[in-house]
Amino acid sequence: MSRVDVRKTYKLYIGGEFPRSESGRSYPALDARGRVVARVAQASRKDLRDAVRHARNAQASWAARSGYNRGQILYRVAEMIEDRFETFVSQVQVTDPDRRRARREVTEAIDTIVWYAGWADKFAQIYGNLNPVAGPFFNISAPEPTGVVGIVAPQDSALLGLVSRLSAVLVSGNTAVVIASESRPMPAVTLAEVLATSDVPPGVVNILTGHTDELIPWLADHMDVNAIDAAGATPEQRRRIQEGAVHNVKRVVLDGEFGDRSPYVIAAFTETKTVWHPKGL
């Protein structure tokens, strides 16, 4: 008698748990030749709402951790991806069969996380400042996390694109709701399993798979989302994001113009707080 394979169910990642979509829906993930390789959960607006709620609840305590600690946790994520190196390579290969390129993408993803982890306790020194003012005051500016950030992950670079956008958002103390690449969802789901076992607190990262077009309006209109990284959105979707953003003046970052690694991406998801303190009293 032949054995039946035990196949993985590709689920969502919300609040540290792996639920199916509350809608019960799923959609097929295809390989490079158009064959169905898995069915992944198709998130609904209610899943997105739940994800934002968890991201909001997790945000204050994530931001309150020391930069050093956030850096350690991101480094731990890199360790866990390294540990599952071959799994990630084979999942990248589902849509991009070239093995050398796939290995390069996974390696690059790991190194990018380590690179951002290093910034966790340093970026504030670059973007903070003691401002010269015409009076007897210390005038100090310091960057603070924007809050809950929605990330429309890059469509083509399913792993590297996702981890580079995500790392930049997490470093400063934001929490994230990610809409994974619609056509290449599998590495994102496996990344969720990595995050769940890397000391990243529940709710800090939430990953949804599904139809980007269906989810974007709910994300764009959500009053409790403070910023959106539209890296993976089409021009049409970007317009929709900008329309929704007006209701609560969301910060919208339209493209990954700074590349996969840049401290400017960290800065894009921070707000500058300036305080005045009297001198010589």
Q: What is the binding site for other proteins (CB under 8 A)?
A: 49, 52, 56, 218, 221-224, 244, 247-248
**Measured from the CB of residue 130, what is the shortest distance to other proteins in angstroms?**
30
- The one-letter amino acid at 248: N
Q: Which of 11, 154, 25 is nearest to 95 (CA)?
A: 154
**Measured from the CB of residue 222, what is the shortest distance to other proteins in angstroms?**
4
CA–CA dist 119, 46 (Å, integer):
34
3-class secondary structure per residue, 8-61: CCECCEECCECCCCCCCCEEEEECCCCCEEEEEECCCHHHHHHHHHHHHHHHHH
**Measured from the CB of residue 215, what is the shortest distance to other proteins in angstroms?**
12
Which tokens sit at 4?
A: 């039946």
Contact 96, 32 (CB under 8 A): yes
Which tokens sit at 235?
A: 């021009």
* Complex with other proteins: residue 161 or 210, whichever CB lies closer: 210
**Measured from the CB of residue 23, what is the shortest distance to other proteins in angstroms?**
14
**Measured from the CB of residue 224, what is the shortest distance to other proteins in angstroms?**
4
Give per-residue burial for 83-104: e unless 16+ CB within 10 Å, then b: ebeebbbebbbbbbeeeeebbe
In degrees, rounded to 5, the angle at the alpha carbon of residue 182 between the alpha carbons of residues 88 and 254 is: 100
**Measured from the CB of residue 278, what is the shortest distance to other proteins in angstroms?**
28
* Complex with other proteins: residue 184 or 250, whichever CB lies closer: 250
* Complex with other proteins: residue 121 or 224, whichever CB lies closer: 224
**Measured from the CB of residue 247, what is the shortest distance to other proteins in angstroms?**
6
Kindly list the distances between the CA atom of residue 42 and the CA atoms of 88, 161, 197, 208, in Å, as whole numbers in the listed order. Answer: 21, 21, 23, 8
Kindly list the distances between the CA atom of residue 142 and the CA atoms of 45, 107, 162, 267, 272, in Å, as whole numbers in the listed order. Answer: 35, 33, 27, 11, 6
* Complex with other proteins: residue 56 or 84, whichever CB lies closer: 56
* Complex with other proteins: residue 56 or 103, whichever CB lies closer: 56
* Complex with other proteins: residue 245 or 265, whichever CB lies closer: 245
* Complex with other proteins: residue 70 or 222, whichever CB lies closer: 222
